[in-house]
């Protein structure tokens, strides 16, 4: 028996001030095959931690842990915006959540605090690399990055990291992922490119 097409999709934190986020995201997802695991970027919540780190010199491990905690709030917000989803708190909860709802929002805190998470605890890792890590762990068929800006044509993953379009660790975190799509949800119509 073949497994369903599984997509991990990261909803960039910059999209949480986009009034049409839920309708545009829902429309895009409805047109795609398979099942979806959504991961919410930290957005302004994580940016607040970044500012606090600059002021109080929290240190990268502490700031990273707090930024990860901020992703819990973003996950809850995304689940409110898409009430047809089910929020899950671990990778083990995903199959049941997908069976119940067909689309889940992952609160990544427990997964990222587990001993088998090898991501660096620094600002080099944001929700882009976290989504790639989750996609790799789940052996997802593809990773989608929902963003607020277009991706220039022929941009490689390394170039995207160098130019600050994704975090600095992304190219390494996404090495085992064949299909990565960059989707600009703010464009009309929605545009996408392979990454």
pLDDT in tens, 51-80: 999 999 999 989 999 999 999 999 999 999
The two structure tokens encoding residue 121? 């605890």
pLDDT tens, residue by residue, 111-141: 998 877 889 888 899 999 999 999 999 999 9
pTM higher than the cut 0.85 = yes
| Check whether domain 6-194 has CATH 3.40.1160.10, yes or no | yes
Q: Where do the structural domains in the chain lie, given as residue ranges?
A: 6-194
């Amino acid at each position: 028996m073949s497994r369903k097409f599984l997509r991990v999709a990261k909803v960039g934190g910059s999209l949480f001030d986009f009034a049409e986020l839920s309708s545009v995201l829902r429309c895009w997802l409805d047109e795609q095959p398979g099942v979806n695991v959504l991961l919410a970027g930290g957005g302004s919540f994580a940016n607040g931690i970044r500012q606090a780190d600059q002021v109080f010199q929290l240190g990268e491990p502490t700031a990273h842990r707090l930024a990860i905690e901020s992703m819990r709030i973003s996950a809850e917000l995304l689940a409110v915006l898409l009430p047809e989803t089910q929020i899950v708190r671990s990778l083990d909860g995903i199959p049941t959540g997908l069976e119940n709802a067909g689309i889940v929002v992952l609160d990544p805190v427990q997964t990222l605090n587990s001993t088998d998470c090898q991501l660096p605890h620094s600002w080099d890792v944001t929700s882009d690399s976290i989504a790639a890590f989750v996609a790799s762990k789940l052996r997802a068929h593809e990773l989608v990055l929902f963003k607020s800006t277009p991706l220039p044509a022929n941009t490689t993953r390394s170039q995207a990291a160098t130019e600050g379009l994704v975090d600095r660790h992304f190219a390494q975190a996404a090495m085992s992922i064949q299909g990565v799509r960059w989707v600009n949800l703010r464009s009309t119509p929605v545009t996408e490119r392979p990454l």
